[in-house]
Structure 1
Amino acid sequence: MAGRPLAARLRTDSGAALLLLAVTALALLWANSPLSGVYEQLWETPVNVEIGELAFDMDLHHWVNDGLMVLFFFVVGLEVRQELSVGSLRRRSQRLVPLVAGTVGVAVPALVYLAVAGREAPEGWGVVVGTDTAFLLGVLALVGPAMSNRLRVFLLTLSVVDDFLAVAIIGVVYSDEVRVGPLLLALACLGALWLLGRMREWRSTPYVLVVVVLWGATVQAGVHPSIAGMLAGLLVPAALTRRDDVVRTKSLYRAYWQSPSASVARDVHLGLARSISVNHRLHQVLSTPVALVVVPLFALANAGIDLRGGALGEALGSSVTWGVVAGLVVGKLVGISVGTWAAVRLRLGTLPDGVGPGSVLGGAALSGIGFTVSLLVVGLAFTDESQAQAATVGVLLSLVVASLLAWGLFAMARVRWGEESADLPTALDPPVDLRHDHVRGDPDAPHTVVEYLDYECPFCARATGMWRDLRDHFGDRIRYVVRHLPLEDVHPHAVVAAVASEAAARQGRFWEMHDLLFAHQSRLEPEDLRGYAEELGLDLEQFDADLADGALHARVQDHAVSAAASGARGTPTFFLDGTRHQGSHDAQTLIAALEALEAVDR
């Protein structure tokens, strides 16, 4: 039992960052201890794998860097594809600011490095182009605002661009002499992944098999496999779960409930898998092992530099060290800040709601934590051991300096610009008003659940049914309120459906119309709405007049305005006792959250 809380803490951003720091410190202590010889011998251990005439002859250090780290870059590729398909890079207005900021944030650090250390070691410019996303998010959780979710999303989006450019640079600039035959096989594997996506193959096994062959071909071709991992992840399709897939899975569960057997259980398992995109399933499986095993193992293999015998003093006197520090700390701060400012000034897009200029500066400073990508490039760029040591010292110094600088900038933003958070509002605005809001349950109940919904949103349809579970659990101690948030850009019938519910409310039948609209989400044309009104026995002449009444349209718009003021940006969004709920919105999760509030009140 004691291990479970620790495991849960390690899965958080801050926990993963602290684990990485601990492993880095261990590597440094080990490499500078009387057991340093054991450290070197461990990573120089040869590991040979032969498959027929095909041979992979590498030491343990290269197996970590060129083998395990491919999983890291594969996960990065999966995340990029998610952002492009269903995330923050899906729309032009959302992606241009981080795209510009990320690109400038790669170019400026390289130029700064070359200005400082270009004469001594120009080949090291690639050390400063990448950002360690895991470390960045972990340190953000430690030194950033208490509420920083919107800044976190912005930095994640920016790091997607950063990672893509960094991996492209590694694959193109720091690859060995290329062999044509294996390279053609690698290209064929990429084509196979594309075809699997086009064929809408939902099983993960074919993708995994092709990726394994792709990795082997890339290693044999002499191209650094990081680019293979990134490109493979990009080619694994990502999509939102469709309502019909969820409904189909629900029917499979019903069959298992009625006849529990191995064959039906297998059908349920396959049905669940089919309802979630291959990309999301692979990401779910790989993200935790990569964060808690692969990246720490990489740090253990690469951060252990021997600083005895004057090596530290030599590194501190090297322009390579300070070129890396200047490139990461100063270059990233200036590049990302200027890129963001320019993109906003040119009206290419806007900053996320709740993110101010001070938060951008703090996030830009945190982007100076290169670590994983930087250490990987150190091993590829430098053949001179003293220069490699100096660059590694620079990467480790940058980690400390960038974190302290970010802490100072976040503190300044809080004091000077009043940026207490970098997130959306969390308080319900305005509070529930029994004169205007639609309430189910005891109007005087101590607990209130408010849902902002869209009648055409399939997720709202499923979430709305959880009210029965909440009522069964809390009885008269809970009331349920709905407000409208029609997402017109994706749901063309959402506004008229919301107005129809308000028109029914004028005749005292709001909840009956509410239930009918969700029961017939695919039929929300005006003639359908009129049919529902007739089914409920409403006065059709009054209903038609109310559908055209500007006052009801204004009421729906007022709900949308209150959603924006309360921090609701999508549907469904829930507020529990006046505070926006973040996380899953199934009945059990909401019940647990409300019980936690009860415990605090006691």
Structure 2
Amino acid sequence: MSFADQKNGDTVPENSRSTPSLLARGSWAEVRRIADVLRQETIGGMLLLAGALVALVWANSPWSGRYHALTQLTVGPAALHLDLSLAAWASDGLLAIFFFVAGLELKREFVAGDLRDPRRAAVPVAAAVGGVIVPAVCYLLVNWDGATDGWAVPTATDIAFALAVLAVVGRSLPTALRTFLLTLAVVDDLLAIVIIAVFYTAHLAVLPLLAALIPLGLFTVLVQRRVRSWWLLLPLAAATWALVHASGVHATVAGVLLGFAVPVLTRAGDHSGPGLAEHFEHRFRPISAGVAVPVFALFSAGVTIGGLDGLGSALSDPAAIGIMLGLIVGKPVGVLAATWLTARFTRARIDAGLAWIDVAGLAVLAGIGFTVSLLIGELAFGIGGERDGHVKIAVLTGSLVAALLAAGVLRMRNRTYRLLHEAEQADRDGDEIPDVYQHAVRTREEPGPG
């Protein structure tokens, strides 16, 4: 199918193709949902960048002492071992909300989204796995006899930061590319949580972990019965979080478990509205994107650089070199190679109108590691140490370089897609659904011969 054919809406139905398609156009319902998610995450990305910038300026100003005093201010009940610094509350508490939303999103994608089809799911899942393995290898090649604990730092993609870049340079890029990036980042978050739980749990207390199953089980029973009362669910969620935190497992794992417990589908005959997972996602995504992640950036990104000499010293640390190599080189190579290998061994072809340079641009954009990378860096090297500062500088520098490189590629591709985007916006017959989606739906619904 030619570029002009797609522009005119003559899309070949997906089930009529002889070979599977990579990065195919999703259903119209899924496209609308993804568009809503992207708007919220993009705004969150802008707030994240603002929080990180404030932290950097403040930490390198004459008032830097006040910044560090604020991050180390301890609050919370000591009797429950929850007398934590504000920085710890941001990473352990607020990021649990972020991972709760990630759990909801991941479950919804594989239960009710377009990715319930294994053929669609294979590509972003493989890309996410490749985007974890190769950066880790890059890091270990530099630090094989040194700071090996930081191998997971360059493996995470920050979806809010990445979407903020897309919002600036890629407004006309196809929705399939944005969906691919979003899904890759969601799977990436799941892999990050597994890594945190397995490799960064230094001391495991079994009794609190087993006790966490009680409020988690009650929470699961209530949400499976479609209970939405916050005064019942919130105390159970808080108890689950506190017990997981006390067990030594990072408390953000509780957020993912709670997200997985929420049902996606409505009961048969229930026409009262969206499923409970979608309801919670609408409620908590603005809190996650607009509050939790930006506040975490404010408390975590403030590192004292110490001028050019200090910057040079930080970036000469092998751990910092490994992190930057993983983000700038390892992440794009891993994502692109895994996507190409999936296409090669499944004999799939990239969807009409798209090109491998688009995948390459997204692969470079996936090298923006911020929120989870900073979190893993703190777990690997501790908070407040010299190497912790070097890790933060490396994450910020690597993410900035990846963002600039991706912006160059995607801005070039954005010009190519602008005409197609304008044509699709004009391709309507009096309703809100573009004809290209209506054509695909009608084709699938038409009975076959005989």
Structural mapping, 1:76-91, within 5 Å:
76-91=102-117
Please say if 1:20 is aligned against 2:67: no
Provide the residue aligned with 2:355 in structure 1.
356
Alpha carbons 1:324, 1:394 under 8 Å: kept: yes
Matched residue of 1:177: which SS?
coil
Deviations 1:454-496 (A, max 9, x none): xxxxxxxxxxxxxxxxxxxxxxxxxxxx9793374xxxxx436
Amino acid at match of 2:441: L
What amino acid sits opposite 1:89 in the alignment?
Answer: L
Deviations, residues 306-329 of structure 1 (Å, cap 9, x unaligned) = 112743221022122221111011
Counterpart for residue 197 of structure 2? 171
**Conservation of the 8 A alpha-carbon contact between 1:81 and 1:235:** no
Question: 1:372 Cα deviation (Å)?
Answer: 0.2
- Shift of the 422–295 alpha-carbon distance from structure 1 to 2, 3 Å rule, reads farther
Aligned residues: 410
Map of 1:486-497 to 2, 5 A cutoff?
486=442, 488=444, 494-495=445-446
Letter aligned with residue 147 of structure 1: L
Structure 1 pair 339/44, CA: closer, same or farther in 2 (3 Å)? Answer: same
**1:253-295 Cα deviation digits (max 9, x unpaired):** xxxxxxxxxxxxxxxxxxxxx5322211111111112111111
State the shift of 1:237 in Å: 1.1
The unaligned stretches of length 5 or more in structure 1 are 1-7, 247-273, 433-447, 454-481, 489-493, 500-549, 554-602
List alignment gaps of at least 5 residues for structure 2: 1-35
The alpha carbon displacement at 1:195 in A equals: 3.8
Rounded to whole Å, the distance in 2 between the matches of 1:452 and 1:148 is 14
Which amino acid is 1:373 matched to? V
Mapped partners of 2:331, 2:390: distance in 1: 20
Give yes or no for contact 1:182–1:221 (8 Å, CA) kept in 2: yes
* 1:44 pairs with one of 72, 79, 83: 72
1:297 lines up with 2:295 in the alignment: yes
Partner of 2:29: none
* Counterpart mapping for 1:326-405 below 5 A: 326-347=325-346, 351=350, 354-383=353-382, 385-405=385-405
Equivalence for 2:175: 149
CA distance in 1, matches of 2:420, 2:354: 5
Q: 1:193 to 1:353 in 2, by over 3 A?
A: farther
Residue aligning to 2:14: none
Kept after mapping to 1: 8 A contact 2:91/2:296? yes
More helix by share: 2
Q: Which residue of 2 aligns with 1:131?
A: 157
Alignment match, 1:65:
91
State the structure with more CA Rg: 1
Matched, 1:211 2:230: no
Shift, 1:173, TM fit: 1.2
CA contact (8 A) 1:202 1:277 kept: no
SS of the residue aligned with 1:275?
Answer: coil
CA contact (8 A) 1:354 1:423 kept: no
Which residue is equivalent to 1:410? 410
**C-alpha separation in 2, matches of 1:423 and 1:67:** 41
Change in Cα spacing, 1:78 to 1:423, as seen in structure 2 (3 Å) is farther
Identity of aligned residues (%): 37
Q: What's the offset of the Cα at 1:148?
A: 3.0
| Matched-pair contact (CA < 8 Å) for 1:150–1:352 | no
Mark the CA change 1:42 to 1:352 in structure 2 (over 3 Å): closer, same or farther: farther
Query: Measured at CA, do residues 204 and 423 of structure 1 come closer, stay the same or move farther in structure 2, by a change above 3 Å?
Result: farther
Asked whether the 8 Å contact 2:332–2:360 carries over to 1, the reply is yes
User: 1:425 deviation in Å?
Assistant: 6.6
- Kept in 1: contact 2:332–2:367 (CA 8 A): yes
The answer to whether the Cα contact below 8 Å between 2:215 and 2:240 also exists between their aligned partners in 1 is yes
1:364 maps to a residue whose letter is: A
Q: How far apart, in 2, do the equivalents of 1:228 and 1:153 lie?
A: 26
Q: TM-score, normalised by structure 2?
A: 0.82
> Post-superposition shift, 1:159?
1.2
Larger relative contact order (CA 8 Å, sep ≥ 6): 2
Give the structure 2 partner of residue 485 of structure 1: 441
Q: Which amino acid aligns with 1:332?
A: K
- Once structures 1 and 2 are overlaid, which stretch shifts more, 110-119 or 372-381? 110-119
1:103 alignment partner in structure 2:
129
Q: How does 1:464-475 map to 2 (within 5 A)?
A: none
Kindly indicate whether the alpha-carbon contact (under 8 Å) linking 1:151 and 1:422 is maintained by their aligned counterparts in 2: no
| In 2, Cα distance between equivalents of 1:422 and 1:61 | 46
Equivalent residues of 1:97, 1:351 under 8 A apart: no
Q: What is the rounded CA distance, in whole Å, between the counterparts of 1:296 and 1:75 in structure 2?
A: 15
C-alpha displacement of 1:11: 5.8
- Take 2:266 and 2:421, find their aligned partners in 1: how far apart are those partners? 24
Distance 1:413 1:449, change over 3 A: closer
Contact persistence 2:74–2:85 (CA under 8 A): yes
Q: For each residue in 1:499-520, what CA deviation from the matched residue of structure 2 results, as whole angstroms up to 9, or x when unmatched?
A: 9xxxxxxxxxxxxxxxxxxxxx
TM-superposed deviation, 1:187: 3.0
Preserved CA contact (<8 Å) 1:150 1:353: no
Mapping 1:260-271, distance limit 5 Å: none
Look up the equivalent residue of 2:371 and give its one-letter code: T
**Alpha-carbon distance between aligned partners in 2 of 1:234 and 1:394, rounded to the nearest angstrom:** 33
CA offset digits 1:116-157 (Å, max 9, x no partner): 233331110111111111111111121225233211101111
> What amino acid does structure 1 have at the position aligned with 2:159?
T
Shift of 1:18: 2.6
- In 1, Cα distance between equivalents of 2:172 and 2:136: 32
In structure 2, give the amino acid aligned to 1:295.
Answer: V
TM-score, reference length from structure 1 = 0.63
Indicate if the aligned counterparts of 1:151 and 1:423 stay in contact, CA closer than 8 A: no
Displacement of 1:85 in angstroms is: 1.3
- Tell me, yes or no, if the aligned pair for 1:94 and 1:349 is still in contact at 8 Å: no
Deviation at 1:191, TM superposition (A): 3.6
CA distance in 2, matches of 1:422, 1:88: 23
Counterparts of 1:49 and 1:196, CA distance in 2: 28
Cα deviation digits, residues 59-97 of structure 1 (max 9, x gap): 111111111111111111111111111113211111011
Moved over 6 A (4+): 421-425, 450-453
Question: 1 CA distance for matches of 2:188 and 2:347?
Answer: 19
Q: In 2 relative to 1, CA 123–422 (structure 1 residues): closer, same or farther, beyond 3 Å?
A: farther
Q: Does 1:114 align with 2:157?
A: no
Q: Which has the higher strand share?
A: 1
Q: Describe the SS at the equivalent of 1:172.
A: helix
Distance in structure 2 (CA, Å) of the matches to 1:356 and 1:17: 27
| Secondary structure of 1:239's aligned partner | coil
Helix, strand or coil at the partner of 1:89: helix
Conserved in 1, the CA contact under 8 Å of 2:425 and 2:434? no
- Report the Cα distance in structure 2 between the residues aligned to 1:302 and 1:101, rounded to whole angstroms: 28
Asked whether 1:220 is paired with 2:171, we answer no
1:495-510 alignment to 2 at 5 Å?
495=446
User: Amino acid of the residue matched to residue 100 of structure 2?
Assistant: F
* Partner residue in 2 for 1:94: 120
Could you give the per-residue CA deviations for residues 423-482 of structure 1, whole angstroms, max 9, x where no partner exists? 7971677x98xxxxxxxxxxxxxxx448689xxxxxxxxxxxxxxxxxxxxxxxxxxxx9
Q: Secondary structure at the match of 2:424?
A: coil
1:35 maps to which residue? 63
